[in-house]
Amino acid sequence: MSTEDDLQSIKMVVTDYLKGMIYGQDHLLRESMHPKCMQAGHYDGQYEFIPRDEFIEAIKGEKKEPAGSPFNYEMASIDITGDIAIAKVSDECFGTKWTDYLTLIKHDGNWQIVMKAFYDHANDRSK
């Protein structure tokens, strides 16, 4: 697989992750995020460090957008080294703007998110 193929595959995984979150499509989150994926960041003033399945359950109560509706996001960068990659993504959902740093690993020919660090712009308490 060429670097261009890897780049397109990573973009698809990240887009599936966003759709899964924004549209409430759990199967896309489970496919795009490794079962042992962890995420960390501050949300609503609380420091979170939670595994994928707990994240999926936690967002079930959030307002979802209708599947297929447009949503705001930007893939600011993707950096690939061999079978690892980092994607910086900004998006809007759940009443705030987010910046996510997603670490992906390619295993058995497929890319998956294995770690996520997020920044919640609306609830910034770092200042």
- Number of domains making up the chain: 1
pLDDT tens figures, 62-98: 888 888 888 889 999 999 999 999 999 999 888 789 9
124 or 111, greater pLDDT: 111
In a domain, 90, yes or no: yes
In a domain, 68, yes or no: no
The answer to whether residue 18 scores a pLDDT higher than 90 is yes
Confidence category of residue 99, pLDDT binned at 50, 70, 90: very high
Q: Which two structure tokens, joined as six digits, stand for 110? A: 């497929």
In a domain, 114, yes or no: yes
- Cβ atoms of 32 and 113 closer than 8 Å: yes
Between strands 84-93 and 96-107, the pairing is: antiparallel
The answer to whether residue 125 scores a pLDDT higher than 80 is no
In a domain, 100, yes or no: yes
Show the domain range for 22: 3-61+73-120
What's the CATH number where 18 sits?
Answer: 3.10.450.50
The answer to whether residue 49 scores a pLDDT higher than 60 is yes
In a domain, 27, yes or no: yes
In a domain, 66, yes or no: no
Q: Which two structure tokens, joined as six digits, stand for 6? A: 């890897």
In a domain, 25, yes or no: yes
